[in-house]
Amino acid sequence: MNLRQVEVFRVVMTNGTTARAADVLHVSQPAISKSIQELERSLGFDLFQRIKGRLHPTPEGQLFFREVEQAFLGLSHLRGAAARIRDYGSGELRIASLSALSTNVLPRALHAFMDRNPNVAVTFQARMSSNVRDLVASGQFDLGIVADEIDRTGVEATEFARFPVAVAVPKGHPLEALDVIRPMDLAGYPFIALAREDTTRRDAEHVFNEAGVAIRTVMETPYSTTICAMVAAGIGVGLVDPLTAEPYEGRGLTLRPFEPALYFRTLLIRPPNRLPSRILAEFLDDLRAAL
């Protein structure tokens, strides 16, 4: 049994006669009959009864036809998948990002990308940088955007962007009157700190120590978005990524520049030894344009 014989059988069943099947397949009628006979010999049972020169499917032929239809449905799906790969690369894009960029840069980039590629299936998750790293290293996701403190083992990492640190203060707070906030200005105020493993926090602690400033930390969190929410609620002040703070400005929160300059540093990570697909390369252009 070969695929051509099965295809001939299917066309005969679909069209009813060997003559019409021959027209569809652009072969002679004897060639159709020969193919059916060879298929029957290989299967070990009759597919048709020949009554007065006409073919009538046997019960076994009807059962076999149902299986053939399922197989050809699978082939149809394969053709569709091949077309999607041809037109859209992998046909899907799986992205994970640290929370800080999930409310600003990523929505802008995804909007631009999906507007041009409506048939590409996109999966997006906002996670802690360490979780994003694990998703990418395991090959479950095509791209990750993470803070630079992650373990880079098992991923390909390139620098993405640096964002200057800003100080978030509640609306009406005394520090709101300053044009620039320096370490000494934060002394004594309740402070909402980033998690201890965050490189920006370590940089800030170094600056505070150099200035001889004791910071009164009342809360720790790995997320700039959480700091913004807590600041807007009046719990304290904190150092944040200004992009993350965009939705909160004017809603109980004010941003002020911090000196000396500190930065949030981010990386793009991908699974090792995997060439980026066309759609991933296109998305990366949108991602950089969204900064």
For residue 156, the cross-strand partners are 270
Same structural domain, 7 and 61: yes
* pLDDT at position 84: 60
Assess whether 80 and 98 both reside in one domain: no
* Half-sphere exposure (Cβ direction) of 261: Cα atoms closer than 13 Å: 5
Domain end, chosen from 88, 115, 133, is at: 88
Distance CA 241, CA 101 (A): 9
Structure confidence by residue, pLDDT tens digits, 83-128: 666 655 557 899 999 988 988 899 999 999 999 998 888 999 999 8
Please say if the pLDDT value at position 288 is more than 60.
Answer: yes
Q: Summarize pLDDT for 215-259 with one digit per residue, the tens.
A: 999 999 988 889 999 999 999 999 999 988 988 998 999 999 999
Instruction: Residue 220: give the domain boundaries.
Output: 166-261
**Is the same domain home to 275 and 151?**
yes
| Predicted confidence (pLDDT) per residue in 55-83, tens digit | 889 999 899 988 888 888 877 777 766 76
Same domain, 26 and 79: yes
Q: Same structural domain for residues 232 and 272?
A: no
For the chain, what is the domain count?
A: 3
Q: Is the same domain home to 108 and 68?
A: no
Query: H or E stretch including 93?
Result: strand 92-98
Separation of alpha carbons 204 and 183, rounded Å: 9
Q: What is the pLDDT of residue 78?
A: 75
pTM of the model: 0.65
DSSP assignment of 95-126: EEEEGGGTTTHHHHHHHHHHHH-TTSEEEEEE
Q: What is the pLDDT of residue 74?
A: 79
Q: Which of 147, 149, 150, 98 is nearest to 124 (CA)?
A: 98
Whose tokens are 């991933």? That residue is 280
Tokens of 91: 């046909």
pLDDT at site 81:
65
Stretch 177-198: mean pLDDT: 95
For β-strands 156-164 and 253-257, DSSP reports them as unpaired
Hey, CA dihedral for 18, 19, 20, 23, is it positive or negative?
Answer: positive
- Same structural domain for residues 58 and 192? no
Q: Phi then psi for 241, rounded to 5 degrees? A: -75, 120
Q: State whether 72 and 96 are in the same domain.
A: no
30 and 157 belong to one structural domain: no
What's 144's domain CATH number? 3.40.190.10
By DSSP bridging, strand 190-194 and strand 216-221 are: parallel
Q: Are residues 149 and 128 in the same domain?
A: yes
Q: What is the CATH number of the domain that holds 40?
A: 1.10.10.10
Burial 245-266 (b: 16+ CB within 10 A, else e): beebbeeebbbbebeeebebbb
- Locus of tokens 């403190």: 149
Q: Note whether 71 and 8 are same-domain residues.
A: yes
Contact 136, 96 (CB under 8 A): yes
Please write the tens of the pLDDT for every residue from 26-47. Answer: 999 999 989 999 999 999 999 9
- By DSSP bridging, strand 92-98 and strand 166-170 are unpaired
Q: Which amino acid is at 91?
A: G
Per-residue pLDDT tens over the stretch 130-177: 999 999 999 999 999 999 989 999 999 999 999 999 999 999 999 999
pLDDT given at position 88:
54
**Cβ partners under 8 Å of residue 180, min gap 6:** 256, 257, 258, 259
Distance of CA 76 to the CA centre of its chain: 27
Do residues 27 and 104 both lie within one domain?
no
What pLDDT was estimated at residue 54?
80
